[in-house]
Amino acid sequence: MVARIITVDPFDIIVFGGSGDLSRRKLLPALYQRDRSGQLPAEARIIGTSRRHMSDEEFRDMARDAIQSFVSTSDIDEEVLEQFIARVGYVPMDATGSDGWSDLAAKLSDAPDRIRVFYLATAPDIFGPICAQISAHGLASPKSRVVIEKPVGKDLESAQALNDAVGKIFPESSIYRIDHYLGKETVQNLMALRFANSLFEPIWNSKYVDHVQITVAEDLGLETRAGYYDTAGAMRDMMQNHILQLLCLTAMEVPTSLDADRVRDEKLKVLKSLKPMSTAQVAAMTVRGQYTAGASTKGPVRGYLEELERPTSMTETFVALKAEVSNWRWAGVPFYLRTGKRLPSRVSEIVVQFRGIPHSVFEEAAGTLQANRLVVRVQPDEGVRLWLMIKDPGPGGMRLQYVPLDMSFAKAFSVRNPDAYERLIMDVVRGNQTLFMRRDEVEAAWSWIDPIQDAWAATNEPPKPYRAGTWGPSSAIALLERDGRTWHEE
């Protein structure tokens, strides 16, 4: 099967923080891959900006090195690489001051009617000041869009202030709050699975679904993010955005169309249907953890405090919680959510556990009957797996086995699976906001998260320790086991 490539309109993308880690690891490689696929028009330009003083040639050398470092060797085409590097330019500037802005304006002045994408790959506290400078220097054209990375605030109040600051310059229709999880192929296939097949939607409700699990696990520790992570923690870094967005796509009603606002309207309804937790419920229905020294697949690893080089920290590196979507479709169905660092493996998946059959006609010797389970694997090894009971082949009576119908994207499609940033950047250029968070979504998520964090702060109880390389504190296992359920761990 061959993917269809549709060229986008001419555009300029201006990356604030252009010499930073996100630009090198994700943005430049993603744009190169789109160029290699023939999606970038000849006029497209990539302009990096940062405080670092570099010439165009020095920045191009940095971009070439980034692509050679973070793109598979098999995907490096020297001719395309040089074509791409020719698109790249650089403007040293003080993003929140006055230096460099006139140079940027001059570089953009030859194409005033072209689509302009301002990508803010910077600290969130300067999103507002950068947008103010864009406006002050007359760069916010009718075809401009601004992309902001998470975190959008650290609580509801700060999120509203950030949204207000950006919203003073750009209308909501031009603001793209990026969550790279929504650009992953399997996440989008969740909508195709539900809404393009008659098999699942009739049973996608509390009558047939026992519970849902969503796991986003990382096997890495702090790496280079210690300063940011210790002020955020797992709840702000992953639960408030990535995991709640996956929950929304799993639980949302069928939209009237795939128009961006129709999809986001349904996601918002889910967020507003999340049952608030009282302080007592927070203690019973949430688990916070912090990893200690242990082992990963690569050998012994230090604990969080050793990596942080601090004697104490109240920051959680693991969260598990039990949520409920209080509406007619999902009333009584628990949604178990968990995320953490230094877990046994890197895996993101959605598990829909169906209820068992009401009556068995099989003899006990046939084997134990297990309920059907749908596993949507977001990463790695993207795919969909449906677990069923079937007869074990061969004579000798009825023997039942629990086996999966397995659809691996890598095996089913003979095309490269694009990185999430490739799809999302092109959607920004197209003006398609379906996979981006709207302001009211962000603020609704914080409205549910804030009381949980407030309850944690009020108890002043430190996170429960867990050894690196395990699946979190034992209380996270008990969270399900006291309901007669277990975490899905293949």
Q: Which residues are catalytic?
A: 242
Residue 464 pairs in a beta bridge with 289
Q: Degrees (nearest 5) of the Cα angle 366, 371, 373? A: 130
- How far apart CA 277 and CA 452 sit, in angstroms, is 7
The set of residues, in sequence order, having a beta carbon less than 8 Å from that of 55 and lying 6+ positions away, is 90
> How many C-beta neighbours within 10 Å does residue 8 have?
18
Contact by Cβ (8 Å): 38, 5: yes
Q: How far apart are the C-alpha atoms of 232 and 403, rounded to whole Å?
A: 40
Between CA 472 and CA 83 the distance in angstroms is 47
Contact between 196 and 161 under an 8 Å Cβ cutoff? The reply is no
At 156, the amino acid letter reads L
For residue 242, what are the contacts with CB-CB under 8 A and spacing of at least 6? 179, 181, 216, 339
CB 473 within 8 A of CB 338: no
- Measure the CA–CA gap between 81 and 99, rounded to whole angstroms: 31
Compute the distance between CA of residue 155 and CA of residue 445 in angstroms, rounded to an integer: 9
* Angstrom distance (rounded) from CA 28 to CA 33: 9
Residues 96, 127: contact at Cβ < 8 Å?
no
> What are the tokens at 248?
């929304």
Torsions phi, psi for 260 (to 5 deg): -55, -50
Paired strand residues for 338: 215, 320
Whether the link from the prior residue into 29 is cis, omega within 30° of 0, is no
DSSP 104-141: HHHHHTT-TTSEEEEEE-S-GGGHHHHHHHHHHTT---
Is 387 within 8 Å of 404 (Cβ atoms)?
A: yes
CA–CA distance, 228 with 392 (Å, rounded to integer): 52
Q: How far is CA 316 from the centre of its chain?
A: 19
Report whether the peptide linkage leading into residue 395 is cis, meaning its omega lies within 30 degrees of zero.
Answer: no
